[in-house]
Amino acid sequence: MTEECNGSVETALDILVGKWKPIILFHIFQHETLRFSELQRLVPEITKKMLTSQLRELEYHDIVHRKVYAQIPPKVEYSITEYGKGITPMLESLNSWGNLHLAHLRELYGEEAVKNK
């Protein structure tokens, strides 16, 4: 049971780790569909390389759909798959606990300590 339980938790974590995945998902969720360049504008600090690799991983996991328009100049749109929409409860769960925890950390260590962690 140890294995099963942790395997699955780690599977879930897998699609969320990678420094940029949460924020990428957030934007795609919010806009329904986004082009590569639009994502770049929304997350300016990310490099093309990272953006590409993170999107590819999300695509592999069937969370994100990649639609390529065969045209010049190229156009590629990313969207959340039907299956991918199923992660919402998990994200909500992480989000709400995260908020609680930020408050808790502030209580424990003060405003400053939390900011520059």
Partner DNA sequence: CTGGATCCCTTAAGATACTG
Partner DNA sequence: CAGTATCTTAAGGGATCCAG
Copy the structure tokens of residue 35. 């082009």
Q: How far apart are the first and last CA of the chain?
A: 35
Residue from 37, 47, 75, 98 touching a second copy (CB under 8 A): that is 98
Copy the structure tokens of residue 71. 């045209």
The answer to whether residue 47 forms part of the interface with DNA (CB under 7 A) is: yes
The answer to whether residue 11 forms part of the interface with DNA (CB under 7 A) is: no
The answer to whether residue 53 forms part of the interface with a second copy (CB under 8 A) is: no
Of the candidates 54, 57, 79, the one whose C-alpha atom is nearest the C-alpha of residue 68 is 79
**Closest separation between CB of residue 10 and DNA, Å?**
11
Residue from 22, 26, 31, 36 touching DNA (CB under 7 A): that is 36
Taking CA atoms, 115 is separated from 97, 104, 109, 112, in Å, by 18, 13, 10, 5
Binding footprint of a second copy on the chain (CB under 8 A) = 2, 4-13, 15-17, 22-23, 26-27, 61-62, 83, 86-87, 89-91, 93-102, 104-105, 108
